[in-house]
Amino acid sequence: MIKRILVPTDGSAAAEKGVRYAIELGKRHGASLMGLYVLDVRLLEGPFLRDLSASLGTAPYVNYQGNISMLLEERGNMALESMKKAADEAGVSCETTLETGIVSRCIVEQGGLTDLIVMGRGGEHDEWLDGVLGSTAEAVVRRARQPVIITGVEMPGNKLFVVAYDGTAHAKQALKVSAMVSVEWKVPFHLLVVGEEEDRPVLDEAKNYLQSYDGLEVTYVLRQGDPGEQIVAYAKEVSADLLVLGAYGHTKVRELVLGSTCNYVINHVGCPVLMAH
> Tens digits of per-residue pLDDT, 194-240?
999 999 999 999 999 999 998 899 999 999 999 999 999 999 999 99
Residues 30-53: tens digit of each pLDDT:
999 999 999 988 777 655 555 545
> Same domain, yes or no, for 117 and 174?
no
> Same domain, yes or no, for 111 and 181?
no
Q: How many domains does the chain have?
A: 2
> Same domain, yes or no, for 8 and 110?
yes
* Per-residue pLDDT band at 260 (split at 50, 70, 90): confident
* Per-residue pLDDT band at 259 (split at 50, 70, 90): very low
As a 3-state breakdown, the chain gives helix, strand, coil percent values, each rounded to 5, of 50, 20, 30
> Same domain, yes or no, for 74 and 181?
no
DSSP β-bridge partners for residue 246: 276
With the C-alpha atoms ordered 20, 2, 167, 192, is the resulting torsion angle positive or negative? negative
What is the domain-level CATH number for residue 78?
3.40.50.620
* Per-residue pLDDT band at 149 (split at 50, 70, 90): very high
> Same domain, yes or no, for 194 and 132?
no
Averaged pLDDT, 81-85: 98
> Same domain, yes or no, for 113 and 141?
yes
> Same domain, yes or no, for 64 and 192?
no
Range of the domain at 38: 4-151
**Residue of higher predicted confidence among 134 and 41:** 41
